[in-house]
Amino acid sequence: MLNFLRPDGRKHDELRPISFEAGIAPYATGSVLVSFGQTKVICAATIENKVPRWMQAQGVKGGWLTAEYSMLPYSTLERKDRDISRGKQDGRGIEIQRLIGRSLRAVLDLSKLKDRTLWIDCDVLQADGGTRTASITGAYVAAKMAVDRLIRDNVLTENPFVDSVAAVSVGVFFDEEVLDLNYQEDKDASVDANIVMTGSGKFVEVQSSGEEATFDDNQLQNLLKLARKGINELTALQQKAIEGK
């Protein structure tokens, strides 16, 4: 494995080049263009001074966070129809936006939002594998920037985030466990997994499946070890981006 090189020349445990460009959407409360290699996603956080009707109807106190995810028509090699053109929302997109929402709510004390909704919008500009992991990682940065702004403006009195959250993909590619798969690797991987973790090292979600293949305990542990390494690196980059905004 030490001499194993991937199609783009990375080592098995190496992330793609990661970057965060803050302020990409000036009308949002917080925003960032996150890049995982050639995968690029705009993540924007916007505050709304009301909560969903179901919370009002059920008398649920506190605030809420919800997410929306979409891939722009030109984000893939072949044009992708917009949901409105098909007359229904893409099932994959629904699953991903629910994952983004769950991931951020896992590290958020909703009571401190106080009757407000934090909207997270993730729009994929360019897809080369790992759009959901890039979206979660960028969404936290955008949301934390938004929260910091609200605290500075005396809209919020306390930081509702209790931890950070990031996500990364891992998989088995030509019998080797690898970190942060691009599209070619994801397409040909025999095992594919998406791991969501907090900055303190706790798991939020583990999505793992064999693609007409199986994997054993040892492989799973190796994949989780790779994911933890990647999440640690992503967490440091997130913090740097937030501090440098």
Q: Please, are residues 168 and 224 in contact by the beta-carbon 8 Å criterion?
A: no
Q: How far apart are CA 166 and CA 237, in angstroms?
A: 10
Q: How far apart are CA 242 and CA 43, in angstroms?
A: 14
Is residue 4 a part of any domain in this protein? no
Helix (H/G/I), strand (E/B), else coil: 146 = helix
Q: State pTM to two decimals.
A: 0.93
* Residue in the block written with tokens 């649920």: 60
Is residue 8 a part of any domain in this protein? no
Residue 118: give the domain boundaries.
Answer: 18-243
**CA-based end-to-end distance of the chain:** 38
Q: How far apart are CA 135 and CA 133, in angstroms?
A: 5
Task: Kindly report the CATH number assigned to the domain that includes residue 180.
Answer: 3.30.230.70
Q: Please, are residues 164 and 107 in contact by the beta-carbon 8 Å criterion?
A: yes
Domain count across the chain: 1
Residue 67's CB: how many other CB atoms inside 10 A?
25
Q: Following DSSP, what letter does each residue of 26-80 receive, concatenated?
A: TTSSEEEEEEETTEEEEEEEEEESS--HHHHHHT--S-EEEEEEEE-TTSSSSPP
pLDDT at 170: 98
pLDDT at 5: 79
Strand order across the beta sheet in which 165-173 lies: 176-179, 165-173, 191-198, 203-210
Is residue 66 a part of any domain in this protein? yes
Burial 207-224 (b: 16+ CB within 10 A, else e): ebeeeeeebeeebbebbb
The residues of the chain scoring below 50 in pLDDT are none
Q: How far apart are CA 232 and CA 245, in angstroms?
A: 20
Is residue 202 a part of any domain in this protein? yes
Residue 189's CB: how many other CB atoms inside 10 A?
21
